């Protein structure tokens, strides 16, 4: 299942990139998502960086079938590899897995100038490798993933507003 989301910010791409790669923001993002535990890592790589976030989340609120399959908590492991700044923006590869479940989200994230601010675009494929039920799992997971992306963007916007 293809996921496409766009988020607009009042700040430019480099300011948004600085927030999205700030270790303090990453921890705050995990806590805001209700993480029971988390680990974060930002490793510079040339003019880009690799951001890794791993968090355990409660499964309450998920459809019953998903909660039964995952247990009381699920562990999301997310990696974004950001490239160098180019054309006023940045691009990165995105990979998210639910540990212990055959569900992945793989794609791209981009920050591009847009007027006085920027737009963040997520283009990714959500794949559930579950025989006969993969499509239903994808349909059940997609709203939670979209909500997570939008919640992260809202928190990033708040961080930007506090720091300007």
pLDDT digits (tens, 9 = 90+) for 112-147: 999 999 999 999 998 877 665 566 666 766 777 778
pLDDT digits (tens, 9 = 90+) for 26-76: 999 999 988 999 999 999 998 999 999 999 988 776 666 666 666 778 888
User: Shortest CA distance to 5 belongs to which of 128, 135, 124, 137?
Assistant: 124
Residue 28 has a pLDDT of: 95
pLDDT digits (tens, 9 = 90+) for 52-62: 999 998 877 66
Nearest-angstrom CA–CA distance, 129 and 163: 42
Domain range list for the chain: 2-162
- Which CATH class for the 2-162 domain? alpha beta
């Amino acid at each position: 299942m293809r996921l496409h989301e766009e988020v607009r910010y009042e700040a430019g791409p480099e300011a948004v990139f600085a927030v999205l790669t700030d270790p303090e923001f990453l921890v705050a993002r995990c806590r805001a998502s209700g993480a029971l535990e988390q680990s974060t890592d930002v490793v510079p790589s040339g003019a880009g960086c690799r951001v890794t976030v791993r968090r355990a989340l409660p499964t309450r609120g998920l459809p019953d079938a998903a909660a039964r399959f995952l247990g009381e908590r699920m562990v999301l492991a997310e990696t974004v590899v950001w490239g160098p700044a180019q054309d006023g923006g940045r691009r990165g590869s995105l990979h998210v897995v639910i540990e212990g479940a055959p569900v992945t989200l793989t794609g791209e994230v981009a920050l591009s100038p847009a007027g006085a601010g920027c737009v963040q675009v997520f283009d990714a494929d959500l794949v559930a490798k579950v025989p006969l039920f993969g499509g239903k799992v994808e349909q059940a997971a997609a709203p939670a993933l979209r909500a997570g992306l939008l919640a992260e963007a809202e928190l990033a916007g708040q961080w930007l507003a506090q720091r300007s």
